[in-house]
Amino acid sequence: CRPFDARGFAALDKPFLEGVYADPYYRARREALTVVSLTCATGCETCFCHWVGGGPTSPVGSDVLITEIEGGYVLQAVTPRGEELLGATDLADGAEKFPLAEAARKAAWASLVPAPDLKDAAASLRAVFDDAAFWEAETARCLSCGACTYFCPTCYCFNITDEGEPESPCGGKRLRSWDNCMSSRYTREASGHNPRPHKFQRMRNRVSHKFWTYPENWGSFLCSGCGRCIANCPVCLDIRAIVLDAVAAARGRAGA
């Protein structure tokens, strides 16, 4: 995967493994997983990993980090699991090639546009949370298709359904499936009541979770800055613009 994908695993580990209850199903899959990441050679228009604490060569979440150099690749173990993996191969020692990998990583960082300061993002989103006009304007183009969530490496909303009949010969199953918080049916209750009937409320929840409530609980953004939500949105909605607009709106209120 890429470093922002690996950072997504690190983000999911916190609620699923470090919360009040560790999720046994997630933990079993996570313990069986080895993450190998290929560093990015350059930034791109929609990527903003360095805005949220990551970067094109970030090792966070990776067991092995691969960097392309002229004529091949340098593989670096990041964790004991990565060391075990590389130790079981017959690859040549790459110590003498590592300076080339470092140079490639520095070049990748040099290609990035400077990141804005998002230290006020959480407080700003809190300040505009009840401003329906702000959120309606920001999400006017949204189609509620859910592409932003389905392409996101850090979204983890899920639904639980019971299928089959427990008393039947075939038995029943309780299934957990990935869900889309942008869907109009996502929070609809059995009574028919939906606390978020409007798309601006659902987008407000999504952005606030990533840049306000998750950071408040876990100390980092629930966003790896991969930019897939931007690149795959059919109406080009940009989460970066929403966050920066919230910061500007909150500062404007404070100045007023």
Output the pLDDT for position 255: 75
Residues 177, 161: contact at Cβ < 8 Å? yes
User: Is 70 exceeded by the pLDDT of residue 16?
Assistant: yes
pLDDT average, residue stretch 201-225? 97
160, with CB counted inside 10 A (0-12, 13-18, 19+), is: exposed
pLDDT band at 171 (very low <50, low <70, confident <90, very high): confident
**What pLDDT, in 10s, does the model give residues 32-58?**
999 999 999 999 999 999 999 999 999
User: Is 60 exceeded by the pLDDT of residue 152?
Assistant: yes
d(CA 230, CA 240): 9
d(CA 184, CA 192): 12
Write down the pTM of the prediction: 0.91
